[in-house]
Amino acid sequence: MTRSCPTVALALVLLVPPVALAEDEPKAEMTLDEVVIKSPRTEPTDSTLGASGPEKADLAARKTTTGDAADLLRGVPGVSLSGAGGISSLPAIHGLADDRLRIQVDGMDLMPACPNHMNSPLSYADPSRVESVTVYSGITPVSVGGDSIGGSIQVKSAPPRFATPSEPFLASGLLGSFYRSNGNALGYSLGATVAAEWASLTFRQSDSRSENLRAAGVFKPTEPGTEGGAPIPGNVVGSSGYQGTVRRSLGLALRTQGHLLELEAGQQKVGFEGFPNQRMDMTGNENWLFTGRYTGAFAWGDLEARLSYQDTQHEMNMGPDRYSYGTGMPMDTEAKTWGAVIGANVILSDRHTLRVGAEYQYHTLYDFWPPVGGTMGPNTFWNIDFGERRRIDAFAEWEARWTDSWLGQVGIRSDTVMTDAGPVQGYDDALPAWGIDAARFNASQHRRTDLNWDLAALARYTPDPTQAYEGGYARKSRAPNLYQRYPWSTNAMAALMNNLLGDGNGYIGLIDLEPEVAHTVSVTGDWHDAARSRWGVKATAYYTHVQDYIDARRCDFGQCSPGNVTATDSFVLLQYANQTARLYGLDLSARLVVGEPSSWGTLTGSLALNYVRGDNLTTGDGLYSLMPPNGLLAIAYQLGTWTTHAEFLAVAAKSHISQVRNELPTGGYWVLNLRSSYEWRFVRIDVGIENLFNRLYFNPLGGAYVGQGPSMSTTGIPWGVAVPGAARSFNVALNFHF
């Protein structure tokens, strides 16, 4: 396969201006390791101040004690996490979440396949494998954006390890385990690598499980979750446990001078994952992922090509904390996604780089609910039958280092997205509850093609080594997903099962939805000492105007009642709608190191403050699920390989809410976390206490609590209870590597 790749490279060489080849060879003396491992020009990370990520020490500590890869983003300026299942939190950047962001795991765009987006892209990432997380929260370069209106998140595993001439055979392994007292959560990870100088074979596996989490106080009545079952205590978060979440992968990497080929087969399985803010639980998920990736370094620059295939079988039903109604309610989803990406960084000269690329993605989805009898039979209910989403992208981005202090970057990108879905049927189309909506949907045209384009332009001024300023403008667009266009039933039960937001409401799709188009201006200032080792302050201000923002309106047609339109204190049925929105805000982060790395150790203080505001300009409503003003103050003490952290998080009350959704306000709170780690040569031990003072609080992005009881009707579960944060937890992790 290595032989065929130069052909692709050659084709690309022919497309680029001859100046690229006429240049002398700036990379010729670069060693192989530098080329394949660091790939310094593959990503524009160092080109934008808007890119950030967790501190290395934070990442190392977090990844050992969690089964949820999204946890690794905690504390990154501008990022907040929406609660969902135990291993599937959804990140938001500057108030934009889910598939408004481009989230890539090892360069792949993994597709969720579920009417609740339970199997989110990051739920497939094994946190113990993650080596780096890059968050593009400012002006996102078009080379890392596309089909999104918010920022981009890139989660990456460690690059393959090879032997060296001095040590021609390499074998390494790792074994780790963690325990969290809240939920009795337990997890392990293991891995082994054998490698020669030219080949490397790696196996990784991890597994985690947790019982239901406890809140730090009573937040709802003590009642049985299921018919005649044992009462669920008032402080226990129903449907928050998970088990059997296995992730395993086998990867082979081959290299020759300047060329790297990586092949990987990965499987993710979930036995059960509860969702306290959804009306069902994931009772099974099996995801297979096959990928091939080629990276090559040439005299003219570097080239990357990727192929991927994702196959998902997803099952939902009522978990043990919910009414089963005697029959349960199976809901199945089958999806396949093919992806191909090719991209090149062409070094035009010492100061000019051109990035070009093309992407193709084809996603198919079948979402069907087998019959259970009564009015929910005798046929299978088709929520989405043969849903298709096809995306074809191309981009070009030019980066110029005009002088040592001025950098400019401009990029343009075209995204064409086609979506379609086949005809549907209800459980029994002879019944008006199913037949009328199905006939209406089947009579309409389902195919839509969106011609989207993005533009990003930014400039950076670095007057001296202690300060830098960056500003820019981006136009970004995103086509609706299949679950925003095609769910068709106005029956309350069916609509309640279609919910991407965790607000407990029901949603009906709208085929005529237009793509969202966001216009963002953002400025960043970065001040620090010349070596970036003692102190730093970074501030980003942003303003985004979104045309055709996909918000929602109350359903006033089909089976929706007049009361649904006016209700202010109940769950409601909604239909997606294009409206105009605006978001703006400020991120501020600061860092100060006190003391020399000497026998007394070093003390580091850091502070992150986030503010975001979002308004629907069409209706005057607030946008859903925006984090109220919040701050994180952290103090770290490091002595040799012993590090101790104290983390103080303060969050203001959430009062600016989405009224159309009857979103719940939440109160202000603070939480203190402590953690410590020590590393010997082969061993690392982490201990921590989260929520040290055992404070009862409600995550403003936790959604509505519908984790127990009769969840299949709008009124079955009391409205007005938010999902609480976790009570105090003692955590410990032990990791060996050799």
Binding site for Cu ion (CB under 5 A): 114, 116, 118, 316
Closest CA to 56 of 733, 643, 661, 691: 643
Number of DSSP helices (H) and strands (E) in the chain, helices first: 8, 34
Q: Residue 590: which residues within 8 A CB-CB, separation 6 or more?
A: 535, 536, 537, 538, 606, 607
Q: How far is the CB of 314 from Cu ion (least distance, A)?
A: 6
Comparing every residue's Cβ against Cu ion, the nearest one is: 114
SS3 category, 528: strand
Q: How far is the CB of 292 from Cu ion (least distance, A)?
A: 29
Q: Which is nearer to Cu ion, 494 or 671 (CB)?
A: 494
Residue 426's CB is within 10 A of a number of other CB atoms, namely 28
Q: How far is the CB of 336 from Cu ion (least distance, A)?
A: 17
Q: How far is the CB of 457 from Cu ion (least distance, A)?
A: 39
DSSP string computed for 212-262:
--B-SS--S--EESSTT-PEEPTTB-TT--EE--EEEEEEEEEEETTEEEE
Q: How far apart are CA 37 and CA 21, in angstroms?
A: 24
SS (H, E, C) 29-56: CCCHHHHHHHCCCCCHHHHCCCEECCCH
Q: How far is the CB of 226 from Cu ion (least distance, A)?
A: 19
Q: Which is nearer to Cu ion, 97 or 316 (CB)?
A: 316
Cβ-contact 576, 484 below 8 angstroms: yes
Closest CA to 191 of 249, 246, 245, 243: 249
Closest CA to 200 of 265, 257, 254, 260: 254
Bridge partners, 270 (sequence order): 285
SS3 category, 727: coil
Pairing of strands 79-82, 51-52: unpaired
Q: How far apart are CA 182 and CA 555, in angstroms?
A: 40
Q: Which is nearer to Cu ion, 114 or 185 (CB)?
A: 114
Angle at the Cα of 660 (from 657 to 662), degrees rounded to 5?
60
Q: How far is the CB of 320 from Cu ion (least distance, A)?
A: 17
Q: Which is nearer to Cu ion, 62 or 389 (CB)?
A: 389
Q: How far is the CB of 282 from Cu ion (least distance, A)?
A: 5
Q: How far is the CB of 315 from Cu ion (least distance, A)?
A: 8
Q: Which is nearer to Cu ion, 114 or 253 (CB)?
A: 114
Q: Which is nearer to Cu ion, 329 or 560 (CB)?
A: 329
Q: How far apart are CA 113 and CA 310, in angstroms?
A: 11
Q: Which is nearer to Cu ion, 255 or 279 (CB)?
A: 279
Q: Which is nearer to Cu ion, 60 or 335 (CB)?
A: 335
DSSP 488: -
Token pair recorded at residue 667: 């109160």
Q: How far is the CB of 288 from Cu ion (least distance, A)?
A: 17
Q: Which is nearer to Cu ion, 332 or 454 (CB)?
A: 332
Q: Which is nearer to Cu ion, 189 or 312 (CB)?
A: 312
Q: How far is the CB of 67 from Cu ion (least distance, A)?
A: 18
Residue type, position 109, single letter: D
Pairing of strands 102-105, 152-157: parallel
Bridge partners, 407 (sequence order): 401, 460
Closest CA to 320 of 240, 243, 239, 244: 239
Q: Which is nearer to Cu ion, 131 or 286 (CB)?
A: 286
Cβ-contact 614, 580 below 8 angstroms: no
Q: How far is the CB of 579 from Cu ion (least distance, A)?
A: 27
Token pair recorded at residue 299: 């005299």
Q: How far apart are CA 601 and CA 640, in angstroms?
A: 7
Q: Which is nearer to Cu ion, 282 or 560 (CB)?
A: 282
**CA atoms 233, 235, 239, 242: torsion sign:** negative
| H or E element that contains 6 | helix 5-15
Q: How far is the CB of 114 from Cu ion (least distance, A)?
A: 3
Q: Using alpha carbons, list the distances in angstroms from residue 568 to 223, 558, 561.
A: 25, 21, 14
Q: Which is nearer to Cu ion, 316 or 407 (CB)?
A: 316
Q: How far is the CB of 490 from Cu ion (least distance, A)?
A: 21
